[in-house]
Amino acid sequence: MAKRKMDRRAQKTRRALTSAFVELVLEQQIALLTHWLTGKFVLKPEAVATMLITNTRTLLAGLSGG
């Protein structure tokens, strides 16, 4: 019984951490696009695309544990 409770807590914690991680990466991507579109810094579209792809791959690697 106690083991099941611990397992449920662990799953709940993992979901919360995963959700927080996803939110963090998405916020970073939105900030990157916002600053780029408002001209806060100048980057070529290819550089922005590379950053977004890198962030997405990082997110997926973090979610898969790799």
Assigned domain for 27 exists: yes
DSSP state letters, 9-53:
HHHHHHHHHHHHHHHHHHHHHHHHHHHHHTTSS---HHHHHHHHH
| pLDDT for the residue numbered 6 | 76
Assigned domain for 6 exists: no
| pLDDT for the residue numbered 19 | 82
Cα distances (Å, whole numbers) of residue 54 to 22, 41, 44, 50: 14, 19, 16, 6
The whole domain housing 49 covers 19-64
Give the distance from CA 20 to its chain's centroid: 8
Residue type at position 15: R
Total tally of structural domains belonging to the chain: 1
Assigned domain for 36 exists: yes
| pLDDT for the residue numbered 30 | 92
| pLDDT for the residue numbered 34 | 92
Block means of pLDDT (10 residues each) for the chain, length 66 residues? 77 79 85 90 90 86 73
* Angstrom distance (rounded) from CA 19 to CA 38: 28
